[in-house]
Chain A
Amino acid sequence: DTAVSQTPKYLVTQMGNDKSIKCEQNLGHDTMYWYKQDSKKFLKIMFSYNNKELIINETVPNRFSPKSPDKAHLNLHINSLELGDSAVYFCASSQVAAPTDTQYFGPGTRLTVL
């Protein structure tokens, strides 16, 4: 009964490739997020979606394209991967888009670009 799940857990790929990371939440939440955690463990918001609509895009290159087919899913597609994209990507969700809401994080996807 995993709350927020991501696949794959690990992703190793060559520069220039295109890859996708999938995220699903079974909590019935309205809002989903993507965060990037760098090698120093710093977490930074990338995108947020509320009811399948994009709310914020925090200066992320347009090689990154999130897609929300329904409220329970927020997938991340990355085109033309670069070395600097190597990081751990976390999906999260919250019940509503309130600043006091708990965000539930997935287990992360470790992306390594060679």
Chain B
Amino acid sequence: TQLLEQSPQFLSIQEGENLTVYCNSSSVFSSLQWYRQEPGEGPVLLVTVVTGGEVKKLKRLTFQFGDARKDSSLHITAAQPGDTGLYLCAGAMGRGADGLTFGKGTHLIIQP
């Protein structure tokens, strides 16, 4: 059973369009983190959300944590080819030393 359901798994859109990636769970998380992974490299943190209902913005990226801390979304406005990559949501439960529970990732392609 996948603890964190991430969708869509694949998304290919035109430059300038908007998109949303979802991360859902039936479990409550202490924090929800979004990472981006380039080919041949390790994941790099984009943002951490901690408080239920929290919204964080990173330029054209908007991250939201659900009120119940069970789900999160990543919204990209006016996508650009440079946004192409693998986006991963990851939840932390209880002790941070338990490691992160990752979603299966969203492969995003932005076509010029």
Interface residue A64 (Cβ < 8 Å from any Cβ of B):
no
A residues within 8 A CB of B53? none
Interchain CA distance A41-B87 in the complex, whole Å? 11
The reply on B101 being an interface residue by CB < 8 A is yes
Closest residue on chain A to residue B50 by CB atoms: A100
**Residues in A whose Cβ lies below 8 Å from that of B86:** 41
Q: Which of A11-19, A65-73, A103-111 contacts its partner?
A: A103-111
Would A99 and B95 count as touching, CB distance under 8 A? yes
**Is B105 close to A, CB under 8 A?**
yes
Q: Is the CB of B45 within 8 A of A103?
A: yes
Contact B98 A108 (CB under 8 A): no
In the complex, are the beta carbons of B45 and A99 less than 8 A apart?
no
Q: What are 9 residue pairs bridging A and B, where the CB atoms are less than 8 Å apart in the complex?
A: A41-B105, A43-B43, A48-B97, A55-B98, A56-B97, A92-B42, A99-B95, A105-B42, A108-B42
Binary interface encoding of chain A residues 26-69 relative to chain B, with 1 for a CB under 8 A from any of its CBs, else 0: 00000101010000111111001010000110100000000000
> Count of A-B contacts with CB under 8 A?
76
On chain A, the residues within 8 Å of B45 by CB distance are 102-104
Interface residues on B, range: 20 to 34
Chain B residue with the shortest CB-CB distance to A42: B104
Chain A interface bracket (under 10, 10 to 19, 20 to 34, 35 or more): 20 to 34
With A99-B31, A100-B30 as given contacts, are A33 and B99 in contact (CB-CB < 8 Å)?
yes
Instruction: Write out the residue numbers on chain B whose beta carbons fall within 8 Å of the beta carbon of A50.
Output: 97
Q: Residues of B at under 8 Å CB distance from A?
A: 29-31, 33, 37, 40-45, 48, 50, 86, 88, 90, 92-102, 104-105, 107
Q: Is the Cβ of A56 less than 8 Å from the Cβ of B43?
A: no
Closest A-chain residue to B102, C-beta based?
Answer: A43
* Interchain CB contact under 8 A, B97 and A41: no
A106: chain B residues at CB < 8 Å are: 42
A48: B residues at CB distance < 8 A:
97-99
Q: How far is the CB of A60 from chain B (nearest CB, A)?
A: 12
Cβ–Cβ contact B92 & A43, under 8 A: no
Q: Write out, one digit per residue, whether chain A residues 77-114 have a CB within 8 A of any chain B CB (1) or not (0).
A: 00000000000001010101111111111111000000
